[in-house]
Structure formats: C-alpha cells, structure tokens
Structure 1
Amino acid sequence: MALRVILGSSSPIRARLLSEMTSEFVVRSPDIDEAAVQVDGVADRERSDPTQLTLAIARAKSDAIRKQLDAGERALVVTMDSLATYDGVIRGKPTSRGQCRSWMMEYMVKPVHACTAVVVYNTVTGAHAEGVATGSQLFHRMPDEELTALLDEQEILTCAGGYIVSCPRIQRFLSTREGSLYTLMGFPRELLSQLLDQVRV
C-alpha cells in the first residue's frame, strides 16, 4: 500500500502545489521557532549560508512533525524551507508595504536569488533524503500603478524576499530566470519527486 504524504508546512501555496502531484496527503504545521535555528553558531541570519540555513530549518521542521506522529503511523514526511537573498544578504518576509516596494524595485535592476531545501523521511523504513534547489529571477520595470496593484493583492507581502512569480498580474514583468518556476515559488517539484523516489525504495 502506498504511503501517504504528510506535508509539514503552514503554507497554503505549498499545499496547493502538492495537490497537483498527489491527492494522498495531509497537512500538519511543524510550529517551530525558525528564528532560533542557527548554523555553526552564526547568530546573524542575514549573513548565514542560505543553503545550510534552509537545510537546518527544514530538518527542524521534519523533527517537529515526527514528534507529532502516532505510534506506527505510516507516511512520508515532507518539509521545506525557502529563503531569498539579494547581494548576498538573506531576506525574509517584508515587514511593510514600503519595504516590499523597495525590494521589488531593486529586483528590476539585479535578480533576487531563491534557495529551497527539501527533507523527506519514510516513517516505515527510516529512510531519509534531502536536497537544495536554487534559482534567480530578474523583473522588467513595472509602472508604479502596477506595483501598487500587486501590493494591494497582499499575497506578495507573505512571501520570503517580498517577490512573487506565480500571479497573473506579474507574468508580463518576468525577465531573465535561472532555475525552474517552481523553485522560485518555494516548491521545487523535480527535486521533491527525486527525493520521494529515493525514500520509497
């Protein structure tokens, strides 16, 4: 019998994207303090290595979900974490509309970089696999009224790095991209599929 997936995430976007891959999943919130996760004792998150930090947070989420499992629960636990960087500095979610506007204007000059870590754990066999996907996106210049309308839709304010690539309004302003669209959305489907195949064996 195929194992169902437990998605350890509070992100409705990730749940929606996973539903495009499988209907056999449930969502549980890992409920961890991401700000408390450090890599090699580096307290300044903005200067941490994004690959190592996203992996550390995704692992912490996986550990938290595994503690929630019922005894003998059979599942594939999937957790992810995403960070955006600009000029080598990590950016979380914008704290205001003004900050988000400023960031988006910067991404029209130089690309924003995305890093998403994925951790998958098989509760039956104990098999574990993890990986990181990266990408970058440059935006065309947007008229001020278009940027204002984008901010009014609110979703961009909930995204790490204060950018979005999936909504219809932004499509004609997408310029040069490296990596997949899904990686830029914080849900690297190809990597997830590879890791799921590894732990199912």
Structure 2
Amino acid sequence: MEPGTSSYKIILGSSSIARRKILSQMGYQFTLMTADIDEKSIRKEIPEELVMALAEAKANAIISKLQTTGNQERVDEPTLLIAADTVVVYEGVIREKPSNKQEARQFLKDYSGRKAATVGSVLVTNLKTGLRKGDSDRVEIHFNEIPDEIIEKLVDEGITLNVAGGLIIEHPLIFPYVKDVVGTIDSVMGLPKDLTEKLLKAVLYNDEK
C-alpha cells in the first residue's frame, strides 16, 4: 500500500494537531472530522481497554455523523476512518487531560525525576466493508528533574491542558528533561506510525481478498 494512492480515501477522526502532523509525515492525504462525544462518560479500569473504548466511540460518532448528513462515501472507493485515543498512566492511575492549570502543574511536578507511561489506541474502520481493526501501544517515559520554572512556563502556555496527563514530551521546553523513551515518540504524541500503517493495510487487505 503506497501513501497517496487514489484507490482509497482517509478520514482522520481527530482534532489533534500532533496526529494530523504525524499522518502527514507518513505521506498520506486525508480529510478531518471530529467526534463530539462525552469522553468522561466512558470508564474502564484498564488503560488499554479505556483507549480502545474511546476510539470506538469516536469512530461510531463520526460514522453516525456521516450517515445523518447524507455524506455517504462512494461504494467503489474505500474510505478508511482512523480514530485514536491516548491516556497517561502514572503510578497505576489513568490520567486524561488536566481539568485546570493547577492539575496540569501537579501532573508535571509528579513526573519530575520519575517515570510515566502513555497508552494509545488506533482504530481503523473501512467504511465500505465495515471491517474494523484496532490495537493499543504503550510507551514508558523516564524524566530527569524538571525545574519549577520550566513547569510554570509550560503551564502558563496552556498547551498542557489539551493533552493527556498534561504530557507533551516533544515540546522544546520539556524535551531536554526526558531521560529515556522506551517506545516511539510518535506513539506518545498520539499516533504510533507502525501500528497505524499495519491497521490501514489490514482493513484494505481483507477487503481485497
């Protein structure tokens, strides 16, 4: 499957700038749709189960939106919908987006000199066949001590409020304090490239068999 081929279309079901950037880096052209769901209403104890359930809810909401707007995709042209979700796990506790700057500040203070993990899901649905494939990916991040002034700068920017666990390791302010990443940075950012590629192929391959 070659990026940019015209035999299928891709919808990225996310408002995340990071996911948009990663999918573009992979060489794909795509359209954007967002799912307006109440993420807090979906609860699971196991991080992998939670992110998969959230991705499924997002995908279902977007499919419903496509159907109600009458924007049905051409049946002779497969359309692949990518939905994804990411949470942070710190000391066994699931963290989603901080609810305010105070919580974002505490999250970052917790990571200083310690470790956290991201658990992310990718779910690809072939809208032509209904075939759906998904999986999750876990990455462990080890931090050096993060100075208080760096934490304050990050919190003041407000960007930490828009990401799971307030964790944005690719940011130039925080990246120098990342000691080690066991896994891939694209997964931490919200869209693991290898997994996404594998799932895109899986829903197309099964369609063509």
One fold, TM greater than 0.5? yes
Alpha-carbon displacement from aligned partner over 1:5-42 (angstroms, at most 9, x marks no partner): 10111222212222212342001011111122244xxx
Q: Mapping of 1:16-95 within 5 angstroms?
A: 16-39=21-44, 48-69=45-66, 70-73=71-74, 74-95=78-99
Deviation of residue 196 (structure 1)?
0.6
Query: Does the alignment pair 1:2 with 2:7?
Result: yes
How many residue pairs end up in the alignment? 193
In the alignment, is residue 108 of structure 1 matched against residue 108 of structure 2? no
Contact 2:87 2:120 in 1 (8 A): yes
Structure 2 contact 95–164 (Cα < 8 Å) conserved: yes
Q: Distance in 2 between matches of 1:2 and 1:60?
A: 27
Task: Give the whole-Å Cα distance in 1 for the aligned partners of 2:153 and 2:94.
Answer: 26
Rounded to whole Å, the distance in 2 between the matches of 1:61 and 1:139 is: 32
| In structure 2, C-alpha distance between the alignment counterparts of 1:150 and 1:72, rounded to whole Å | 42
TM-score, normalising length from structure 1?
A: 0.89
2:153 to 126, 134, 149: 149
**Structure 1, gaps ≥5 residues long:** 40-47
In 1, Cα distance between the equivalents of 2:181 and 2:126?
33
Give how far 1:125 is off: 2.6
Once the two structures are TM-superposed, the CA of residue 91 in structure 1 deviates from its matched residue by 1.0
Separation in 2, partners of 1:197, 1:127:
12
| Same amino acid, percent of matched pairs | 32
In the alignment, the residues of structure 1 paired with residue 173 and residue 113 of structure 2 have an alpha-carbon distance, to the nearest angstrom, of: 19
Name the SS of the counterpart of 1:168 in structure 2. Answer: coil
Task: Say whether residues 1:163 and 2:167 are aligned partners.
Answer: yes
CA drift of 1:160 comes to 0.8
- State how far apart, in whole Å, the 1-side matches of 2:147 and 2:113 are: 14
Q: SS in structure 1 opposite 2:83?
A: strand
Q: CA RMSD in A?
A: 1.6
Counterpart of 1:189?
193
**Secondary structure of the corresponding residue to residue 169 of structure 1:** coil
Distance in 2, matches of 1:109 and 1:140, equals 4
User: 1: CA distance between counterparts of 2:40 and 2:102?
Assistant: 23
CA distance in 1, matches of 2:73, 2:20: 24
TM-score where L is the length of structure 2: 0.86
Question: Which of 138, 158, 162 is matched with 1:134 structurally?
Answer: 138
Q: Is the 8 A contact 2:114 2:144 kept in 1?
A: no
Partner of 2:103: 99
Q: Which runs of 4+ in 1 moved over 6 A?
A: none
SS at 1:71 equivalent: coil
Q: What do residues 70-92 of structure 1 show as CA deviations (whole Å, max 9, x unaligned)?
A: 23444100000111111111111
